[in-house]
Structure 1
Amino acid sequence: MQPDACSQQRSCEALKAPRFPILTWDEWQPGRSPRRVFKIDWLIPGESLVSILWKFACANALPGEVLMRLMCPDVDPLAGVIPLRSTLNLTELRRLLRLSENVLRTSLLDNLPRDRYHAAFRYCRQCAAHGYHSVLHQLAEEDRCAAHRQELRTRCPQCHRQSPFVINSSVIEAPFRCVWCRAHFCYGRLVVRSTTQAMRRQDRHAIRDRVLLRLGTDASGVSNG
């Protein structure tokens, strides 16, 4: 019996290479410079480095441990680093992500006293639904999202535990999700690879204005919609 056309088509599709092939550590070594998938249009003003790295890792199917080795070769990937300007090399980040220094500086917390920012990851559920986390969310003085006016949360809606505000291999591999139970922070399931600007223009402008007010920068290079 001859296989039907639909079966043949399904077999061919199953043999196709994935859209974002998983790269090995050797392929991602700095000297090899593989082609990387990333667009500035995926970012919103004031986007935190954690949020940027989630998009970068997902777009390139890049394991968290490999990304940590590329960014911080002298740091234990599981321990990670707090995303402060003093703990990360901006030159290396620019080379890796190919983003402007202004965008990267805005994505990191300044060298603030520990009581000025939250050690636990804080988020707005609506922002998370758009694949966005703002560096403003971590500031102690900010209680609500600038765009949606929702109270910022620290606890997982599923297990009620707090995820740390750090960059490590475990956090990178849980984009917009709880690092403990992997529940999504947003309402429903998030497609991180989407490049569609789902957030309303007025919300993006509200975030931009708040970033300018609090951080003294307009995050030049990031589209405002």
Structure 2
Amino acid sequence: MMASLLGLAVFALVLSGPALAFVPTGGGTSTHFTITENALLQKVRETCEAVAKNNDYEFKPTGNSPEKIVQACLGPTATGDVSGAKFHSALQEIYIQHGLLDRDFVNSAPHHFNSEAFLEGKSLIIEGMAAIKANIRNENFQAARETLGKILHTLQDFYSHSNWVELGYTNPYLSLIRADLPIENMADMNTPTCSDCASGTCPDPILPAILEKQKLTSGYMGIFSNTKPSG
């Protein structure tokens, strides 16, 4: 039962797009983990509310922990300790794969939207979404959760590794999760996009012409070299 509910929540999160993944609650600095946790628990709550309504009981969690949420989600006859532990374990599968992306694909530009790899990064997300939906249909919920963790990392990196915010956008970019929508006005590898900054802490490194022309560009990751690429 709990695996099915979390599967529904995962499916709903995929279909809802990146909006929830980038609206962290509370103050302070947001991290990959906190953004992912907030998005997942918010979507699980919404899914549980719908399940409760369809089964004629009220969804009223007594707290915000995963255990309290799942106990309320399963209804008044639930034994919350065991189910809560399984739910917590399922969430950990998402978080672990999310974190492992930095280890397993540290130098992969598409996985982090580095070096103008926008089309390749989008392909990873679209392919991941298709895999999640297929695994949910086959009730392979663990594989769906693990893939979700990976593509959420890549999706989040688009916003933190590109100049999307600097261009003035405040809404999620639907083109990242819609195969039929193109990514528009991208800078290419030969376009100068940022100023030289030996210290790495220069303010406003993006060239004014890039912002004026509303060009989408991304950073680069110098794992094996600290030399700035051309452009």
TM-score where L is the length of structure 1: 0.24
TM-score where L is the length of structure 2: 0.23
